[in-house]
Every structure is written in C-alpha cells, then in structure tokens.
Amino acid sequence: MTEQTADVIIIGGGISGTSAAYQLARRGQKVILLEKRFIAAGGTGRTGGIIRQHYSNETTIRMALHSLKVWRDFDAVVGGDAGWRRTGALVTVDQRDLEGLKANIALQRQVGVQVDFLDAAAVREVAPYLNVEDVGGAAYEPEAGCADGSMAANSFAARARDLGATVLQGVTVTAVTTAHGRITGVETDQGSFSAPVVVNAAGPWGARLAATVGFDVPVEPSRHQISVFHQPAGALPTGHPVILDFVQGFYLRPETGALSLVGSIEASEAANQVDPDAFDEHVDMDFNLDMANRTEHRLPLMGAARVGKGWAGLYDVSRDWHPVMGHMPGLEGFICVFGWSGSGFKMGPVVGEMIADLATGERRCPIDPHPFRFERFAEGDLVRGQYAYSIIG
C-alpha cells in the first residue's frame, strides 16, 4: 500500500473513533480512521447501550445531557439509525444512599437534566411490578433510553465517509511514529500513514499503544458479562424502563423481542483483568444464575424468565473510573481518548466534538476536557463521583 497522508489519523473504530472521524470530517479535516478488525469490534459492539444522565459530577452530567440531545434525534442531527429507544430509567438506592441520591438529583437538575426523586411508593407507580421492600427511593429520568453500539458506530462511520473521511477496516496500527518530540504518523501491517495529529481511540488496547511511545497510562482491560433473559410471555406487555439497582449492584435494560439485558455495576468487576486479544467472550453460567437471582428479587415476575444467549466484552478501566482524554504531554500531536471504564457509549456524540476541538485547536464544544487530562494521575487530581463504591460514575 502506498503511503497515505491526512490531517488527523484516528486509531480505533468504536464509538469514540467513529464519532471523532465524523466531527473532524464535518470541520473539513482530512481524516483517516484505521480499525484493526471491523467497526464496533471492541467494547462498542458489546455494549449494554444504556443512555442515562445519572452521573454525580457536573462535567459528566453535562456530557451525558449534550449527547442525549443527539441520541434522541440521531437521524436528523447525524444521519442514519443508532437504534435509539426512549425507555426511561430508574436508579434505585437503599436508605444508606438516599441523601447522596438526592444531592445528585439536585446537581443534575441544576445542569438541566429532567429527573425526579421518587419514594418507594412512587417507584411502584412507574413500575408496579417492582419489589420495593428494600428500596429507599429512586431517581427517575423519563428521557433516558438505549441505543445499539454497532448501529451507532456504523452510522457515524458512514457519515464520516460521506463527508470525505477514509475509513479502513482490517488495518492494525503497529506503532505510532514520532520525530523531534512530534507525531509524524503511524506504522501499520499494511504500510505507513502520516499526519501531524494521531488520536488513540483504541479502547482496551489504548494503554498498550500509548506505552509504545513512553506513556504509562493506568488503564487495564477487564472482562464484563451481560446475561440475556427472555421475559415470560405477556409478563411485561409494555416492557420495563432501564433499572440501575444500587441496592443489589446490577442493571437491567429492555431489549426488543421481549428480552432483558442484565449486568453488574459492582466495582469488583474490574478485578477480571484479561488479555484483550484472548478472553472468554461467552457468559458464565454462574453469572447467569447470580443475575437471575438479583433480577427475580427486583422483578418477581421474571422468576419464570428463560435464559438466552449472553456475552462478555471489555471495559478499559482507569484508576478513577473516568477516561483519559487530551493531548499527551511532551509529544505534540498525540491525543488519547480511552479508559471509559464501562460507561463511554452514551458519551460518543459529545466525545467526537471534544476530540475535534482538541485536534483542531478550536473551541466549538461547550465542554472542556481538562478534567480528563493524563497528567491528573501524577498530580493526584483524580475525577471523583459520589458513587465511589460503584462503576457508574
């Protein structure tokens, strides 16, 4: 392959890379996106796809809200289908976390999120089939929903192509190239590509790539599972909202075909560190059983649910459960965006805009990525949420 030149090379065809490619192409930048397998082959294609705004610090709430406005009108704003469905979301806590939940709701409302506090009785009005005996209260986001990782990333990639970007699948970046403290491009298994700016959006592989140019980024790949349950026939005729259950540390989201997708929100999940190129992509029977028990406790009518085919995917977990996003110090033109720690899908739309700002030096996106800079780890200025015991941010 002959050498190719661009303004910006993006490594990785997940939601972060494809959204960035789209935004940069919109701004007239010559973009080459390199994906080693296929679009959405990483965490994006395995995502639970929950799109909530329930975060506990202002920056991430603003990012989620900004992105929601794109998700719910994806075809008009971006073009194409992201599989968006509005379902609403309930975030349930026990008495212990009630004050924290109320504080978060107040912060979310200040930022502009449509969210209400519900006591246990009011939770039953939204979802009469829930067992609320151990629920102290809940946040209810009527505007929350779900989208499809593969559809969304492919739509972003298609729109980027329409706008002139080159999107190459089956091309593995083997090295980032530099000269005199500057980025010059990348080497791949199919030749070299040059650009003054390289965006490392390689998700669970991102830290390995950054290490090849001397950065020790505290992000580790770990395995996370999703159980799929067939709702008993006719049990939930209008489906159910997304349920993020802090009481039991798990989540449940509705899927088309009367399915429910169920996963864990316990921080201990990060201990399942794996080689991202060789891990078990199936769901364990023990996990199915555990999730079935938690599901039945919260939704007793799911006791008769049938277990379907689940899967396992990768999180890229950082030391503070927040991403690294920004220019890497001492190497001009090298931008990293990975380490989403299991909650990066919903942020895809805004991340594309933030990366486009970083790559071009413009400031079109209202949200500043400064809190996510790599240097925060050395400075001890970690990004903290209220839910320190959970992976929810």
Q: Which residues bind ligand FAD (CB under 6 A)?
A: 11-17, 34-37, 41-44, 46-50, 149, 172-173, 201-205, 209, 224, 226, 263, 313-315, 338, 340, 342-346
| Nearer of residues 43 and 136 to ligand FAD, judged by Cβ | 43
What residues are paired with 51 via a beta bridge? Answer: 145
Least CB distance to ligand FAD at residue 322 (A): 11
* Strands of 85-86's sheet in order across: 50-51, 145-146, 85-86
Q: What is the dihedral of CA 346, 347, 349, 352, to 10 degrees?
A: -150
d(CA 42, CA 328): 23
Least distance in angstroms from the C-beta of 130 to ligand FAD:
20
Q: Per DSSP, what are the bridge partners of residue 226? A: 311
Q: How far apart are CA 60 and CA 53, in angstroms?
A: 8
Q: Which residue is nearest to ligand FAD (CB)?
A: 14
Judged by CB, which is closer to ligand FAD: 89, or 123? 89
Taking the least distance from each CB to ligand FAD, the nearer of 140 and 193 is 193
Give 380's contacts (C-beta < 8 A, 6+ positions apart).
none
Minimum distance of ligand FAD from residue 155's CB (angstroms) = 14
We find the least distance from the C-beta atom of residue 321 to ligand FAD, in angstroms, to be: 11
| Two structure tokens written together for 331 | 């190497």
Which CB, 130 or 252, lies closer to ligand FAD?
Answer: 252
The minimum distance between CB 119 and ligand FAD, in angstroms, equals 26
Check residue 330 and report its DSSP letter. T
* DSSP class of 284: P
- For ligand FAD, give the closer residue by CB, 104 or 227: 227
The residue among 242 and 299 lying less far from ligand FAD, judged by its C-beta, is: 242
CA dist 173 to 10, 167, 182, Å?
A: 10, 13, 18
| Nearest to ligand FAD of 258, 274 (CB atom) | 274
Where b means 16+ CB within 10 Å and e means fewer, 140-176 reads bbebbbbbbbbbbbbbbbbbbbebebbbbeebebeeb
- Our CB check for ligand FAD shows the closer of 210 and 314 to be 314
DSSP codes, 191-217? EEEE-SEEEE--GGGHHHHHHTTT---
Could you tell me where the DSSP H helices lie in the chain?
15-26, 58-71, 74-77, 98-111, 120-126, 149-162, 206-211, 285-298, 348-360, 376-379
Least Å distance between CB 83 and ligand FAD? 13
**Cβ at position 125, least distance to ligand FAD in Å:** 25
- In the complex, least distance from residue 224 CB atom to ligand FAD, rounded to whole angstroms: 4
Q: CA angle 64-66-69, nearest 5°?
A: 105
Choose between 132 and 294: whose C-beta lies nearer to ligand FAD: 294
Work out how close the CB of 244 gets to ligand FAD at its nearest, in angstroms, rounded to a whole number. Answer: 9
